Every structure is written in structure tokens, then in C-alpha cells.
Amino acid sequence: MRILNASGCLDALTAPDVARSLDAFVSKTVTPLPREGNAPVRIAETDVGMLNSIGLANPGRDAFVAEALPRLRALGVPVWISVGGFAAHEYAETCAALDDVTIELNLSCPNVEEAADTAAAIVAACRALTNLPLYAKLSPANSDIAEVARAVQGAGADGLSLVNTMRGTALDEETLEPRLGTWSGGLSGPALKPVALAAVYACWRATRMPIVGMGGVMTGRDALELVAVGAQDVALGTVLFRDPEAPQRVRAELAAEVAALGVADVDDVHGVAHEGGLSARLSLTR
């Protein structure tokens, strides 16, 4: 199992040591043209997690490939590039401009419908222009995420990243106005964990694809549970804003959890929630 950061939750160039503590670094979503992102306020904390309305602020594909990417490669960790766009050809053109990275297609971009056929069309367009590993990142807001997962698998995706944020709103205590400039934003953090567990469970059952599980992972126990429902790897998002040492901490906590369960390695727990739980698997292997 590898520990990655969730896209948009770590700036590797300002925090290179945190990036080096990961098994791979995932970039913020890159779009064809530069984007300034949404008007402030763009972050709001709530009791159960965080809301953000960053709006995919990024320097655009050409500047990213020319300036940021060489510096990211120099960090010495495998690099994943999160690719976004507003039409299938935009995603595909960015994929064609990349080399020697893993690609994560952010299929939850504004104005991109995440219906199964749209998601599959984007993946197919990218698959036609690149041989690089392609992960499709899906939103849990879809009413049937397993159907989308099957569709992107059929279109040539190699893996899934699950999950992106869900839409939420927080109000100012006194004025009762929305706290975010865009009134709503993406909800991440602890509130998302049960949603992520359900999405990974459903998509693993439907596809058996490699899955990067994310959503509310704060502890090694959270990571363990994502692996149990079918995640092969786990990504840390919101927790990195609070605890930049979370990669080492989660790894250590995970090792302790695994030891307490009496299994040799976290990979021995992979998918165990689908097979009658841990005791059923252990009775098979002992």
C-alpha cells in the first residue's frame, strides 16, 4: 500500500519535505488554460470537515509543464498529474503533453457532467492519446458510482481515485450569510469518510480495479478501513493542512493497527470487508 497526498492538498514546491515523505506526489488539477480560481472566501472550517471553493486555480498546462513539472520531478518521488478540463479533447490534449507520470483524470471539474457516458468518453479520448497509467477520479455525488466505475473501466482506465469532495454550505454564525464567496464548496475531511468507504466498497465490488482511497483519512485506522473495503493505496487530503507529518504518523499507526490484528502486512487486509471480514480470511490462511 502506498500513501499519496490528495490532489490540491499539498504544494510540493513549498513543502518538499512533506512531499518526500509520500510514496507519490499528486499535483493540483491542471487545466489547459490558467485559472485564477474563485473569489474569496475560499476555505471554511466546519465541525465535521472543511469546505473549499478554490475553483481549480492553476497556472495552466503550458506553464505547468515548462516550469512546475521539472521541479516536481527533481523531488525524487513518483509524480502523478491531476488533469482537468471542460471537454474530452481538453483532457486528452493535456495527457498527450505528459510523459513519465501517472495521470489522474479529475472527472469532477465544473461544467463537466459526470454521467457514466461522459466520464467514459473523456477516458476513451485520453486513452487514445497516451499509454501512461490513467486513474479516473470520481465524485461520490453520483447516484450510481459503480456504474461510472464500470464505464471508465470499459473505456480503458487503469485505476480509480475515490472520492472527490461533496457539495456543502456553511453559514456565518451572526449574519447567517454563506461563508464562502461562492456560497457552496467541496466538503472534505471526517464527514466524508463513510461516503468514501461506501464508494470504494461499491467500485471494488463492481470492477476489482486498483483504487486510491481518500476522504476523511485522519488516522491509520481510517486508512486500514479503506484498504479493507478495497483500496490498494490511500491518499491524505484535509489532514495535511492540520498535520504536515501525517504521512509518517498514519504509516506508524497503520503498522500498529496491522500488528494488533495479527496480520503480517496491511495488504493482507485488502478487500477483506467483502469476504466475511478478517476472521474469515485468517481462518483460510492459517
Ligand X SMILES: Cc1cc2nc3c(=O)[nH]c(=O)nc-3n(C[C@H](O)[C@H](O)[C@H](O)COP(=O)(O)O)c2cc1C
Active site residues per annotation: 109
Residues forming a β-bridge with 234: 3, 213
Show contacts with ligand X in window 169-188 (CB under 6 A): 186, 188
Q: Are 251 and 1 in contact (CB under 8 A)?
A: no
**Residue 108, C-beta contacts closer than 8 angstroms, at least 6 positions apart:** 114, 137, 138, 139, 141, 164, 165
Q: Residue of minimal CB distance from ligand X?
A: 8
Is 165 a binder of ligand X (CB under 6 A)? yes
Is 214 a binder of ligand X (CB under 6 A)? yes
**Residue 18, C-beta contacts closer than 8 angstroms, at least 6 positions apart:** 5, 10, 12, 240, 244, 245, 247
Is 215 a binder of ligand X (CB under 6 A)? yes
Number of helical (H) and strand (E) elements in the chain, helices listed first: 11, 12
C-beta closer to ligand X: residue 50 or 160: 50
Query: What is the distance between the alpha carbons of residues 51 and 25, in angstroms, rounded to a whole number?
Result: 22
- Of 148, 151, 179, 184, the C-alpha closest to 165 is 184
Smallest distance, Å, CB 247 to ligand X?
A: 12
Is 56 a binder of ligand X (CB under 6 A)? yes
For the chain, what percentages of helix, strand and coil (3-state, to nearest 5) are there?
Answer: 40, 20, 40
Stretch that binds ligand X, among 94-102, 168-176, 200-208, 215-223 (CB under 6 A): 215-223
Is 217 a binder of ligand X (CB under 6 A)? yes
Is 157 a binder of ligand X (CB under 6 A)? no
Candidates 12, 44, 50, 246; binder of ligand X (CB under 6 A) is 50
Total interface residues for ligand X by CB under 6 A: 26
Residues in contact with ligand X by CB under 6 A are: 6-9, 28-29, 50, 52, 54, 56, 82, 106, 137, 164-165, 186, 188-189, 192, 214-217, 236-238
